Amino acid sequence: MAPPDSASPAVALPAPREGGWIRDFVFDGTLFLGSTVLVFVIASLFAAKGGEANILRLDGAASALDLVIPVLLGGPHIFFSLVRTYMDVDFKREHRQLLRVSPHVVAFVMMYLAFHQYVQVAANLVLYSAIFHGAAQLAHIGMRYRKKSGREPWDLGGKAFLVATLVGPLFFVSQAVATRASFDFIGQPIFKALAPTWFVWTTGAVALVAAAYWLADTVNHRLAGGRVNWREGAILAATQVAFWFLASVEDLDVSFQAYNAWHSVQALGIMWFAMNAKWRAGRVRGPKQSRFCKDGAFGFTYLWAVAFSVGIGALVILFSNFDVANLPRSPFYFVFAVTVLLNHHVLDYWLFFGKRAFDD
């Protein structure tokens, strides 16, 4: 039955789906597959070329990017994640200790690093956590497409897909760290010790073998008369090509925001699909979460999400004495913004790979 606060018919209808799409052609094509274009467009427009100006020929364009994307996309996708975790009665019941412990552990670590002048360690932690988290989201979407073809997400081919999607991005980033003279993120060098030669070769080999196994499994399944969902392969290909391109961009801050935009648009899509599907199935309990999940509430939820972003930013600016130009070097940037970000990373792994990850 539909949630009691809903004005919809008594019988909840399933989310619209077409063939192998998670929702439908427009939704998936725009948010899950088409959003990959953002990586190339943003990086190409805003990255400085050869130490000179960016294509837009605008001073401060990259700095503006660091403000606009986190406020309009980065922060909002975190809010959508919070709706699916801290506001979800089932998730809170099943993961009560996780929800209590995770934010405190993350906050303590960030405060220790920020106030003891280990900002470089914090910056490295943020970068690698973001890469792994984004790859995990891509793997989750790809495994949903696998399920749409009638195959189990966690069969051996699905696990190979997961490994290839997670390890491939790590290889491209590690290779860039190992081969460049300097690889800086928010003004902090990325540790070359994190990318020894053996690690670069190992991640490359593991990703290649996993992708080859997935491809062989897919071909054999198709030859045996089974159904194959090409969108699963499209996600894997987009992941590898996009991360290869991002790792090749000299300006890591710009490439990170290009990645942030791509990842956030995908996250808004997958989070909204999952929470709206749960509402449509009548499994959302309580008016607090329902108002953010019901049909037609995306715009309402997004406005709340932007307000959430602005609120976090305001806290950082206020505690940093309005030193806006140096916010990434402020300890309060890590205490507030990064703590929220990393806690969201932790919780999302249960949304992506937990026992209910593919229920909707």
Q: What is the pLDDT of residue 285?
A: 86
Beta bridge partners of 184: 189
Distance CA 245, CA 270 (A): 24
Higher pLDDT among residues 9 and 204, named by residue: 204
pLDDT tens digit string along 88-106?
Answer: 999 999 999 999 999 999 9
15 pLDDT more than 50: no
The tokens describing 85, both together, are 């975790």
Q: What is the pLDDT of residue 65?
A: 84
Nearest CA among 270, 236, 261 for reference residue 28: 270
- For residue 284, CA distances in Å to 281, 297, 300, 357 come to 8, 14, 17, 15
- 338: how many CB neighbours lie within 10 A of its CB? 25
284 pLDDT more than 60: yes
Condensed to tens digits (0 to 9), the pLDDT of residues 226-243 reads: 999 999 999 999 999 999
Confidence of residue 7 (pLDDT cuts 50, 70, 90): very low
pLDDT category, 30, cuts 50, 70, 90?
A: very high
Q: Give CA–CA dist 200/240, Å, rounded.
A: 15
Question: What does the pLDDT read at residue 60?
Answer: 60
Instruction: Give the model's confidence band at 326: pLDDT under 50 very low, under 70 low, under 90 confident, else very high.
Output: confident
Tell me the per-residue pLDDT of 122-146, one tens digit each, with 9 for 90 and over.
Answer: 999 999 999 999 999 999 999 999 9
pLDDT at position 181:
85
Q: What is the pTM of this model?
A: 0.91
The reported pLDDT for the residue numbered 213 is: 98
Outline where 149-251 has alpha helix (H): 156-179, 197-223, 230-248
